[in-house]
Chains A and B, each alone.
Chain A
Amino acid sequence: MSLSDIWDVLVLGVVLGSLYAVIAIGYTLVYGVLQLLNFAHSEVFMSGGFGGVIALTLVEPAAGPTGLQSAGYVLLGMGAGAVLGGAVAFGLEKAAYQPLRRRNAPRLVFLLTAIGASFFLYNLAGKLFGRYPMKMPTMYENKKLFEVFGAGVSVTQLIIVLAGVLMLLTVDLVVNRTKLGSGIRAVAQDPEAAALMGVDIDKVVSRTFVLGGLMGGVAGFLFGTNLQVDYTMGFLPGITAFAAAVLGGIGNVRGAMLGGLTLGVVESFTVEIWGDAWRYVGAFAVLVLVLMFRPTGLLGERVGRTA
């Protein structure tokens, strides 16, 4: 592997990693407030991809668009992805998790519900939109923009990284600076005390889901632009992003970002060295190793304490 190859792989890794980081935030936020491993988040991600496809198919992008048009299409796709992702996350919380929370159900019941919901959602998407991979309509000419140490960066890659960084900064601000953020941190630290202090737990939980859903939806759209949209597209990126959340310290927002980037880079090097068939093995290996040697992750756990 020559030096420029390494940079090539690194660029790919950072692009993937910023997507994983954005998805991982959804896992980590929900884990923070509910201590729940939300398996269905991968389906929130998938619905973001479908949201983008639906919106762009409706609009029918012009052939050979101007720069302004292209930007409009991309923003539209991201918006549609975010809306559908947020809506699915909201509906999921209201329909599946809230009744369980009201009843004070044990954790196993939550996990099983999450699995069931995940299965229901992705099979429903497959049924409604066909069980075939589909391409995102062309929004711009995906040419090479510039080079980093000999590694080319395409338009799609630049968009993904920029959007990812922007979303990560926004979430960091929301969690640390806003009222909703202090609600999230309070519930993550101690839900009972938070309730006694006048935090409306139902609202905080539901908005946390929506926040994670918005991010997951946009990530789904970006992922779909990069590759393709497919009803099963959520599963493997979802697990990898979860591994990223654990790697960074589950419940810790900045940890999820770090974990996502790390796993993205690990994955692209795995593919480069061992071939595409082993793509996801690297992430699992990292997950198991982290659990063995540093179960609290790189940056430690919990929203309330560290972020």
Chain B
Amino acid sequence: MSGVPATAARTPLSAAARLRKGKWYEQPRWRRLGALLALAVLMAQVTGEQGVRNDLFHALEQNFKGGGVGVWVGIAVAVWLIREFFDDAVARGVSRLRERAGGPARTVRATSGRLFGRRGYRWGALGALLLVLIVLPLTVTTFWQQVLVDQIGVYVMLAVGLNVVIGWAGMLDLGFIAFFAIGAYSSAYWTGGLPVEPPVELNNFLVIPVAVVTCLVAGVLLGAPTLRLRGDYLAIVTLGFHEIVYLVAKNYAEFTGGTRGANGLDRFSLDLGFWSYDWTLDPVPYYWIQLGFVVVIIVLFLRLEHSRVGRAWTAIREDEVAAAATGVNTVRFKLLAFAIGASTSGVAGVIYASKQAFVNPEQFVVLFSILALSYVVFGGMGSVPGVLVGTAFLVWLPQFLRDRVDPQDRYMYLGALLVIMMIYRPQGLLPSRRRQRELRMAGEGVSGADALGARPGGERG
């Protein structure tokens, strides 16, 4: 794999001369400068002005005239100079900092290890955490209560479900929000909110099992033909499925209410005879429902992770061929993961529809699938604590930055975040230990780390 042209074999002398000289811009040092400068120009555009209508070059002109590019180019050159000429000094400084920070970090790790390491302490700590989570919404403003329910609660649920598909079974599902939509529309349908009358009107709590079954069936119908094939087809098929669900919700107005959707849906209500409660506009009671479901789902999923099923997923992820050879029915377990993810998404959809009391197609665009995906990836695929923390953080961040960054740019930053995470920290913020090891081993060419078959540019499966 050398860069020497084929004629070199016949004229060794000239080839040797060419190797020695090389072109100046092919020297690594200048290449690095070029890359940094390109990055600087890109960064200037990323952080620059918004484009305006009827003036194509407005943003570009502003960015170049307004000095944005100059600043970034300056930073790039400075970084390059430091990296090329003061590398040793920087390395020394970093190692000294590490030593100094090592002490406190060790203390923190040891304390948390002691807290969560012993069984009694662990239950105590988890109980305290749960208690904090229960009281939390009472201590914040209404705005943050809404954020907690509409976004954090919903996305935590979605992310925990998506984590089963992508983190444990190692498949890429881009149609996750389609099942969320199916859940929400099931809620609307069975509570009599859609233009079509259901056979019986159900309470929202009873809709949940119905929605779970609906999403399971949809997931199996979609997954069965595709999962037998290469895993990466699943990504595109789910994406297509999502688009179809969206189009049906939008255009099949006789059933779904079309673009306007359906308003005034039933909210949750509970009537036990001796005691009844109706959920209203107040977000906090929904938060408690979500919290309850999330806790139950997490407990179930963690049990699953260490069961036969979970081990089968791990086996498939690490080496699909070997798993099949040892008798794991790979298609069935992949299908199971896919369907479990789908039904979790459906539950989240029911709760969401009931909280909002309306559904319309714009709540279920493809963007949200990508959002959920980036939350899981950021937190750490396959690690439940990672997913929880990652989701909560990434939902909180744009709300926090609302006044400082244009909200329209959110998806751009999320896309960049996905790419950067994949390049520098594919295991995520709080990785699961197993996943981290798999990724490292995959890098050494020992095993795979997903259920997608052969790896790009590598050997074939």
Q: A residues within 8 Å of B by Cβ?
A: 33-37, 39, 53-54, 57, 91, 94, 96-97, 99-101, 103-113, 115-121, 123-124, 126-132, 134, 190-192, 195, 198-203, 205, 235-236, 239, 242-243, 246, 277-278, 280-281, 283-284, 287-288, 291-292, 295
A192, closest chain B residue (CB): B459
Q: Is the CB of B411 within 8 A of A106?
A: no
Name the B residues within 8 Å of A129 (CB-CB).
51, 56, 59
Q: Is the CB of B244 within 8 A of A281?
A: yes
Q: Is the CB of B3 within 8 A of A203?
A: yes
Q: Within the assembled complex, what's the spacing in Å between the Cα atoms of A134 and B174?
A: 29
Interface centre among B366, B439, B458 (most CB of A within 10 A): B458
Q: How large is the interface on B (under 10, 10 to 19, 20 to 34, 35 or more residues)?
A: 35 or more
Name the A residues within 8 Å of B448 (CB-CB).
106-107
A110 to chain B, nearest CB (A): 5
Interface with A: B127-135, B263-271, B414-422, which one?
B414-422
Q: Is the CB of B456 within 8 A of A101?
A: yes
Q: Is the CB of A34 within 8 A of B456?
A: yes
Name the B residues within 8 Å of A119 (CB-CB).
370, 411-412, 414-415, 418
B137 contacts A by Cβ under 8 Å? no
**Contacts A198-B1, A278-B251 given: A131-B408 contact, CB under 8 Å?**
yes
Q: Is the CB of A127 within 8 A of B247?
A: no
Q: Is the CB of B456 within 8 A of A35?
A: yes
A96, closest chain B residue (CB): B419
Of A103, A132, A134, A280, which one neighbours B243 at CB under 8 angstroms? A280
Within 8 A of A (CB), among B220-245: 225-226, 228-229, 231-233, 235-237, 239-241, 243-244
Can you list the 4 inter-chain pairs with the closest CB atoms, starting with the nearest?
A116-B418, A119-B415, A120-B415, A123-B412
**Contacts A112-B172, A198-B2 given: A127-B51 contact, CB under 8 Å?**
yes
Of B236, B381, B426, which one neighbours A37 at CB under 8 angstroms? B236
B6 contacts A by Cβ under 8 Å? yes
B366, closest chain A residue (CB): A235
Q: Within the assembled complex, what's the spacing in Å between the Cα atoms of A9 and B249?
A: 27
Name the A residues within 8 Å of B233 (CB-CB).
246, 291, 295
Q: Within the assembled complex, what's the spacing in Å between the Cα atoms of A106 and B451?
A: 10
Interface centre among B244, B366, B418 (most CB of A within 10 A): B418
B379 contacts A by Cβ under 8 Å? no
B423 contacts A by Cβ under 8 Å? yes
B228, closest chain A residue (CB): A295
Within 8 A of A (CB), among B23-56: 35, 38, 45-46, 48, 50-53, 56
Q: Is the CB of B415 within 8 A of A107?
A: no
Task: Give the secondary structure class of A's interface.
Answer: helix
Interface centre among B166, B228, B236, B448 (most CB of A within 10 A): B236
Q: Within the assembled complex, what's the spacing in Å between the Cα atoms of A107 and B232?
A: 8
Q: Is the CB of A201 within 8 A of B411?
A: no
Name the B residues within 8 Å of A201 (CB-CB).
1, 457
B442 contacts A by Cβ under 8 Å? yes
A80 to chain B, nearest CB (A): 13
Q: Within the assembled complex, what's the spacing in Å between the Cα atoms of A108 and B438?
A: 12
Name the A residues within 8 Å of B421 (CB-CB).
116
Q: Within the assembled complex, what's the spacing in Å between the Cα atoms of A134 and B57?
A: 13
Name the A residues within 8 Å of B196 (CB-CB).
none
Name the A residues within 8 Å of B231 (CB-CB).
107
Name the B residues within 8 Å of A123 (CB-CB).
409, 411-412, 415
B337 contacts A by Cβ under 8 Å? no
A94, closest chain B residue (CB): B35
B160 contacts A by Cβ under 8 Å? no
Task: Give the secondary structure class of B's interface.
Answer: helix
Q: B residues within 8 Å of A by Cβ?
A: 1-3, 6, 35, 38, 45-46, 48, 50-53, 56-60, 166, 170, 172, 174, 225-226, 228-229, 231-233, 235-237, 239-241, 243-244, 247, 250-251, 366, 370, 373-374, 377, 381, 408-409, 411-412, 414-419, 421-423, 426, 439, 442-445, 448-450, 452-460
Q: Within the assembled complex, what's the spacing in Å between the Cα atoms of A102 and B48?
A: 32
A-B contacts, 19 listed (Cβ < 8 Å):
A35-B456, A91-B38, A96-B422, A107-B450, A109-B422, A110-B455, A111-B452, A112-B418, A115-B370, A120-B412, A130-B52, A205-B457, A246-B233, A284-B240, A288-B225, A291-B225, A291-B226, A291-B229, A291-B237
Known: A239-B236, A277-B251. 20 other contacts (CB 8 A): A34-B457, A35-B453, A36-B457, A54-B56, A54-B57, A106-B449, A107-B232, A108-B166, A109-B426, A109-B450, A111-B172, A112-B373, A113-B418, A116-B417, A124-B45, A127-B51, A128-B45, A130-B50, A242-B236, A291-B233
Interface centre among B38, B423, B454 (most CB of A within 10 A): B423
A251 to chain B, nearest CB (A): 11
Name the B residues within 8 Å of A191 (CB-CB).
457-458
A204 to chain B, nearest CB (A): 10
Q: Is the CB of A126 within 8 A of B51?
A: yes
Q: Is the CB of A108 within 8 A of B170?
A: yes
A275, closest chain B residue (CB): B251
Q: Is the CB of A100 within 8 A of B422?
A: yes
Q: Within the assembled complex, what's the spacing in Å between the Cα atoms of A118 and B418?
A: 10
Name the B residues within 8 Å of A203 (CB-CB).
3
Interface centre among B38, B59, B411, B457 (most CB of A within 10 A): B457
Q: Within the assembled complex, what's the spacing in Å between the Cα atoms of A110 and B418?
A: 11
A57 to chain B, nearest CB (A): 5
Of B251, B408, B457, which one neighbours A127 at CB under 8 angstroms? B408
Q: Within the assembled complex, what's the spacing in Å between the Cα atoms of A117 and B422?
A: 11
Q: Within the assembled complex, what's the spacing in Å between the Cα atoms of A219 and B377?
A: 33
Q: Is the CB of B456 within 8 A of A110?
A: yes
Name the B residues within 8 Å of A128 (CB-CB).
45, 48, 51, 59-60
Interface centre among B6, B240, B454 (most CB of A within 10 A): B240
Q: Within the assembled complex, what's the spacing in Å between the Cα atoms of A128 and B460?
A: 41
B55, closest chain A residue (CB): A130
Q: Within the assembled complex, what's the spacing in Å between the Cα atoms of A140 and B415?
A: 38
Q: Within the assembled complex, what's the spacing in Å between the Cα atoms of A53 and B251?
A: 32
Name the B residues within 8 Å of A130 (CB-CB).
50-53, 56, 58-59
Q: Is the CB of A124 within 8 A of B46?
A: yes
